[in-house]
Structure 1
Amino acid sequence: MHATALVIGKFYPPHTGHRHLIETAAAQAGHLWVLVQGSRFESIAVAERARWLAEEFAGANVTVVPVRNDCPVDYASDEVWTAQVDNMRWALKIRGVEAIDAVYSSEDYGARLAAAFNAVHVCVDPQRSTRPISGTACREDLAGNWKQILPAARRGMAVRVIVVGAESTGTTTLSEALAAHYRQQFPALASVPEHGRHYTYEKLAELQQSRPEATVEQLVWTAADFGVIAERQSALEEAAAEAAPLVIADTDALATTLWERYYLGDGSYGSYAAAAGLPRRDIYLLTDCQGVEFEDDGWREGEHRRPEMTEWFKETLTEAGHSWILATGSRERRLATATAVIDAMLTQQGTFTSPAWAGRTVLATA
């Protein structure tokens, strides 16, 4: 056992190989410090990478520290090496860490880094045979290596498209069309249906156990109902983000707050806690009620309020500072508008920038 150990890396993005390295070090140390080295030239902020790792190792004997480091990498230069080590040393020193007993790494520079800290070097899986993955591989094939990326990072990196709208305005039609379209690219893309509708089915079935003649119009809604709907809707969305790099959600907890307002008025806030903690949204697609015939499937009751509800969505999304697009026109036109912006977002998601001196980790092939 070592009293204090150190792991450094870019974690760009954090993956299962990183987890193996950190778990190995943490199991052999009283306390492990993980320095996340981030450059301004990289696409994912160092604070985000550190947050994802901290979430993964919450409660463990691990402290994750984001370190901004724009110093070039040049292993042949003693001067650059000195600058790099000093950057790390002070990131630890200002946190009260004066000595490191062991440096854990899978890299060639590990022994030299350990010597700079007067520590022992522990080499972990240098051939990546235990965990055959690298940050390079993740960046070059994000979709193919999605499950190798740590869950918190997947949730943070997934492109999230939320389809919202008033009753019978084509939200489910559009979200299902988008899911079918992108499932060709991402076979693991998960469905995120409107949980409120499923909850309504359950609520009516429960009422009909004592009152077989009861109809949906006789349901009594409470703030607690909307709180449950919002929480479950968010859980479905998070699971979808872990499954694939793209999330297509048929509504979300923010929309649930509007439906709560619709049914219970402005004084009810059961769903607001779930809506307040939503992760980043990339785009909201708001389905327009204009030109869309109302289809009464026996579960709807708000044809006359569709224009008002649509305006509520516009107001709420704008006030919250979200990016949103009014999906209008035919089904084909709506789908074309949506795929144009989603394709651009996916291109941006899959483009990882790095400084000119960044190296590549090439995994050994069988």
Structure 2
Amino acid sequence: METGTEVNAAERFGLGLVVGKFLPPHRGHRFLIETALSRCERVVVIICGKPVDPIPPELRAGWLRELVPQAEVMLIDDRYDENDSRVWAENTMGWLGRAPDAVFTSEDYGERYAGLMGARHVMVDRARLVVPCSGTAVRQDPFAMWDFIDPPLREWFAKRIVIVGAESTGTTTLAMDLAAALDTEWVAEYGREYSMLKQGSCDANWRSEEFMDIVREQARREDAAARRANRILVCDTNSFATVQWHRRYMGTRFAELEAFAAACRADVYFLTGDEIPFEQDGLRDGEHLRHDMHRWFEEALTAQPKPWFLLRGSRETRLSHALEILDELRLEWRR
């Protein structure tokens, strides 16, 4: 596994160093860092980040701190010539306050870089045989590399399909059917759960702040489910839809809620049609507004930038149409 400077596989070091862009950090990187951790008393991971990176450096640093908490993660502003090993060596010793005892890399530059600091170089899986993955491959097609990325990255890369619609238009049924067809996770509507608790407490008065509580919890559950998702996450409503429910119950706009909704994650919206009969389930109270709300959703979806599609017809027809649309969009679904 190791080349260059001869390093005994049993030899241990004091301070070990791993450096890279980690754009993004994948399981090959984790294998590299865990190898260093197994051989060193202390390991520092230096992330080289630029503001123009397609994935924010701070986010990558947070992911690594979560994935390898035993390592110390340091984020630096990458403004140096990546081919000038001497400059990197000098700066590295300044960042660390000393020279590392060993440098762990999977790259050919590691031997010279480590040598300039008087450190040992440990080459780890140069041929990518243990973990056949690269940051470039993940960025180009995260779905193909899904098995080589960990839950925090899955949360980032998972595509989010959001199903919205007025009361009793089949949003939950479609969410369940679509998730089953895609063999993935779906997120239920937290607002309904909240409404049931509110009804049980005999509280009929709504406050705008309650809608903020709803969207924050909905977003938290979405992010948690995205970590478990199989490439695509199906959401039964999101904060964009909650803006329409605030309009329904409060009759006014709410700037804080709209700002939160504008930043919500969504890749495509499906709007369920209002042509099916209304079914009372003991909680619904808006049959008289259902068609108006459907128009509100159409207007709001048209005004936002994400693609959206209206689904009508039977349960089977809606599912079939949704799957056809997703198949057509597939080539555009690469971050």
* TM-score normalised by length of structure 1: 0.68
The answer as to 2:291 corresponding to 1:307 is: yes
**Which amino acid is 2:185 matched to?**
A
User: 1:144 Cα deviation (Å)?
Assistant: 8.8
Q: 1:46 to 1:347 in 2, by over 3 A?
A: same
Count of residues paired in the alignment: 308
- Three-state SS of the structure 2 residue aligned to 1:243 is coil
The answer as to 2:238 corresponding to 1:252 is: yes
**Which amino acid is 1:53 matched to?**
R
- Gapped runs of 5+ residues in structure 2? 1-13
Contact 2:104–2:121 at 8 Å: present in 1 too?
yes
The answer as to 2:62 corresponding to 1:55 is: yes
Whole-Å separation in 2 of the counterparts to 1:141 and 1:300: 42
- Three-state SS of the structure 1 residue aligned to 2:83 is helix
Among 229, 237, 243, the alignment partner of 2:222 is: 237
The answer as to 2:319 corresponding to 1:335 is: yes
How big is the alpha-carbon RMSD for the aligned residues of Structure 1 and Structure 2? 4.1
User: CA deviation digits over 1:109-131, x for unaligned, max 9?
Assistant: 154342575452442754899x9
User: 1:193 Cα deviation (Å)?
Assistant: 0.7
Contact 1:225–1:270 at 8 Å: present in 2 too?
no
Q: 1:104 to 1:116 in 2, by over 3 A?
A: closer
User: 1:348 Cα deviation (Å)?
Assistant: 5.5
Name the structure 1 match of 2:10.
none
The answer as to 2:19 corresponding to 1:7 is: yes
User: 1:273 Cα deviation (Å)?
Assistant: 5.4
Q: 1:89 to 1:159 in 2, by over 3 A?
A: farther
Q: Which moved more, 1:315-324 or 1:153-162?
A: 315-324
Q: 1:194 to 1:115 in 2, by over 3 A?
A: closer
Among 133, 136, 141, the alignment partner of 1:135 is: 133
Contact 1:159–1:345 at 8 Å: present in 2 too?
no
Whole-Å separation in 1 of the counterparts to 2:76 and 2:326: 33
- Three-state SS of the structure 1 residue aligned to 2:227 is helix
Contact 1:99–1:117 at 8 Å: present in 2 too?
no
How many percent of aligned residue pairs carry the same amino acid? 31
Q: Which moved more, 1:155-164 or 1:196-205?
A: 196-205
Contact 2:23–2:55 at 8 Å: present in 1 too?
no
Contact 1:110–1:123 at 8 Å: present in 2 too?
no
Q: Which moved more, 1:244-253 or 1:301-310?
A: 301-310
User: 1:104 Cα deviation (Å)?
Assistant: 3.4
The answer as to 2:17 corresponding to 1:18 is: no
**Which amino acid is 2:111 matched to?**
R
Name the structure 1 match of 2:186.
191
Whole-Å separation in 2 of the counterparts to 1:332 and 1:271: 34
Name the structure 2 match of 1:181.
181
Name the structure 2 match of 1:33.
46
Q: Which moved more, 1:306-315 or 1:157-166?
A: 306-315
Whole-Å separation in 1 of the counterparts to 2:106 and 2:31: 14
Q: Which moved more, 1:242-251 or 1:112-121?
A: 112-121
The answer as to 2:199 corresponding to 1:204 is: yes
User: CA deviation digits over 1:161-195, x for unaligned, max 9?
Assistant: 00001111121121111011111xxxxx2230111
- Three-state SS of the structure 1 residue aligned to 2:187 is coil
Whole-Å separation in 2 of the counterparts to 1:66 and 1:336: 48
User: CA deviation digits over 1:217-241, x for unaligned, max 9?
Assistant: x622112221121111111211121
Whole-Å separation in 1 of the counterparts to 2:82 and 2:302: 44
* TM-score normalised by length of structure 2: 0.73
Whole-Å separation in 2 of the counterparts to 1:308 and 1:166: 9
- Three-state SS of the structure 1 residue aligned to 2:54 is helix
